[in-house]
Amino acid sequence: MTEYTVEFVGTGEEIQVSEKETVLSACIEAGIAQEYSCRVGMCLACSAEIVEGDVTQPAARGLTDEEAENYALTCMARPQSDLVLDRGKYPPSIEDDAAAGAAAADDD
């Protein structure tokens, strides 16, 4: 079984993750505080920007195909190479939704 190194930007944290397990599962096992909620690839709470490397995440339904090239949902993402991830970075679609919601609240 192949294992890859996953490094998190700005934290100094690094873990080994099997190609058969999700990044989130490995984080939980290692005691790393990775944010998550639904664990089924829908809520985007566990999102991380892919700085380097490749993942497979066919069940990450919360991302568009384009977003899936640049962002990992750690609850679904399985490494295909060594990775560098920037946790807490969200795809443009969720950032746009948050900005639209804030603007609508300001109009009330």
What is the residue whose two structure tokens read 């089924």? 40
How many domains does the chain divide into? 1
Q: Which helix (H) or strand (E) holds 48?
A: strand 47-52
In terms of residue numbers, what domain contains 10?
3-107
Summarised one tens digit per residue, pLDDT across range 31-82 is 999 999 988 888 899 999 999 999 999 888 888 888 999 999 999 999 999 9
| Domain containing residue 41: CATH number | 3.10.20.30
Phi, psi of 4 (to 5 degrees): -125, 155
Helix (H), strand (E), coil (C) string for 13-46 = CEEEEECCCCHHHHHHHHCCCCCCCCCCCCCCCC
Q: What is the pTM of this model?
A: 0.83
Evaluate whether 9 touches 51 at the Cβ level (below 8 Å): yes
